[in-house]
């Protein structure tokens, strides 16, 4: 029903940053090398994400907006070893349920593209169009049909900051992809997409921080840890400057964050945290990714071993730096 789909949409799409997260994930899954995000008024007036990825074949475009229509999962077993970021087919229908959405796409090898328009969940048009290969999704007037949800949003500046955080995390996670973010006509993030993690760190955090980031690299059997941690001189008042990646997927995990800060024991003042980008590469069978699309929690089969590996990796990086 209409109510049920609005409720379901609200679980995935809490605010403009949730739209950006889902669209950017789809672009990464589509193999994009360039992902451009444009927002207006904190994303409430407009969010537009364009990529140069594989596109969607013309005959699958309307399917993409059906709930649970995912092209990324064929058996339940695959849930256990899911490599792509999205796997539930919830995002596009949820976005379309709470905005005026337009998706324009041209699949690799296709002669022309397709544009589908939806208005708060109802299909409002499907046309053949000329466009570059790849996909652009535009969502306008977000929550225009849900005034209560819109009231719950913060200022345009605060919503923009959340979007910038999301795009920055994916830029750190995928240094081989060129990300841009333009807010109300101003480019606020522009990464080179060089494939070098340090270049992404430089674009996201600037040279003062990037020059104080120490390389992390540690291999322990089938677990490997890589990334960067800041010297103790660069500390922050909260944990949000630590980006945790599992197999290059941005996650939230309290124990990895704790392992990182513990490795600084005695070096950081009270309640200070480092800047860090830590990627854990681990066999897919050793990690459960929470199936709730808006959460980023993970569960590890061998959490103690992982904790030690991260702790060791970070401590090693700090010791190598110490005079
Ligand atoms: P999911 O990502 O969970 O599969 P979505 O609702 O996010 O579900 O997307 C539905 C489907 O639409 C995807 O499985 C994919 O086939 C297609 N799709 C969405 N966005 C893109 C994109 N940017 N490029 C190519 N295909 C896309
Ligand atoms: Mg998705």
* Average pLDDT of span 189-216: 97
On whether residue 199 sits in a domain, the answer given is no
CATH of the domain at 93: 3.30.565.10
Give me the pLDDT at residue 322, please: 75
On whether residue 32 sits in a domain, the answer given is yes
From 50, 68, 70, 113, mutation site for ligand 1 pocket: most ligand atoms within 8 A of C-beta: 70
Give me the pLDDT at residue 76, please: 46
Query: In terms of domains, do 116 and 226 share one?
Result: no
Nearest to 174 by CA among 53, 80, 17: 53
* Average pLDDT of span 189-207: 97
Residues 6 or more apart in contact with residue 320 via CB below 8 angstroms: 214
Q: Is the CB of 116 under 6 A from ligand 1?
A: no
Query: In terms of domains, do 14 and 96 share one?
Result: yes
Q: Is the CB of 136 under 6 A from ligand 1?
A: no
Residues 6 or more apart in contact with residue 50 via CB below 8 angstroms: 35, 36, 38, 134, 135, 136
End residue of a domain, out of 142, 164, 190:
190
CATH of the domain at 286: 3.30.230.10
* Pairing mode, strands 178-183 and 34-40: parallel
Point out which residues pair with 235 in neighbouring strands: 274
* Pairing mode, strands 113-119 and 100-106: antiparallel
* Average pLDDT of span 37-42: 98
> Which residue is closest in CA terms to ligand 1's atom 4?
70
What pLDDT, in 10s, does the model give residues 102-154? 999 999 999 999 999 999 999 999 999 999 999 999 999 999 999 989 999 99
The pLDDT of residue 86 is above 70: no
ipTM over 0.85: yes
On whether residue 234 sits in a domain, the answer given is yes
- Burial of residue 93 (CB within 10 Å: 0-12, 13-18, 19+) is buried
Q: Left, alpha or beta for 112 (phi > 0: left; psi -120 to 50: alpha)?
A: beta
- Per-residue pLDDT band for 276 (boundaries 50, 70, 90) equals very high
Query: In terms of domains, do 151 and 21 share one?
Result: yes
Nearest to 312 by CA among 248, 245, 220, 246: 220
301 is in which domain, residue-wise? 206-321
Query: In terms of domains, do 180 and 228 share one?
Result: no
On whether residue 198 sits in a domain, the answer given is no
The pLDDT of residue 50 is above 50: yes
Query: In terms of domains, do 182 and 89 share one?
Result: yes
Nearest to 201 by CA among 224, 228, 221: 228
Whole-model pTM: value is: 0.91
- Domain total for the chain? 2
Query: In terms of domains, do 186 and 232 share one?
Result: no
């Amino acid at each position: 029903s209409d109510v049920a789909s609005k409720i379901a949409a609200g679980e995935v799409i809490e605010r403009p940053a949730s739209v950006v997260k889902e669209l950017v994930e789809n672009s990464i899954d589509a193999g994009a090398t360039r992902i451009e995000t444009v927002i207006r008024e904190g994303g409430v007036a407009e969010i537009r994400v364009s990529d140069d990825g594989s596109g969607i074949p013309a005959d699958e475009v309307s399917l993409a907006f059906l709930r649970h229509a995912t092209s990324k999962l064929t058996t339940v077993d695959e849930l256990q070893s899911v490599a792509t970021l999205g796997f539930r087919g919830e995002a596009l229908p949820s976005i379309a349920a709470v905005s005026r959405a337009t998706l324009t796409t041209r699949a690799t090898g296709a002669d022309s593209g397709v544009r589908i328009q939806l208005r708060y969940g109802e299909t409002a048009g499907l046309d053949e169009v000329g466009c570059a290969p790849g996909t652009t999704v535009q969502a306008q007037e977000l929550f225009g049909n849900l005034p209560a949800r819109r009231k719950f949003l913060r200022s345009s500046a605060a919503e923009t900051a959340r979007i910038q955080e999301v795009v920055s995390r994916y830029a750190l996670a995928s240094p081989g992809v060129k990300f841009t973010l333009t807010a109300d006509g101003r480019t606020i993030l522009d990464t080179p997409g060089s494939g070098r993690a340090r270049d992404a760190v430089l674009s996201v955090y600037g040279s003062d921080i990037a020059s104080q980031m120490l390389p992390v690299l540690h291999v322990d059997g089938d677990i490997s840890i890589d990334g960067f941690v800041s010297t103790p001189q660069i500390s922050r008042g909260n944990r949000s400057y630590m980006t945790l990646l599992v197999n290059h997927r941005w996650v939230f995990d309290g124990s990895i964050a704790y392992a990182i800060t513990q490795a600084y024991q005695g070096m950081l003042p009270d309640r200070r945290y480092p800047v860090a980008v830590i990627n854990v590469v681990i066999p897919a069978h050793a990690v459960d990714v929470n199936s709730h699309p808006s959460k980023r929690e993970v569960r590890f089969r061998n959490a103690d071993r992982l904790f030690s590996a991260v702790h060791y990796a970070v401590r090693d990086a700090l010791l190598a730096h110490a005079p």
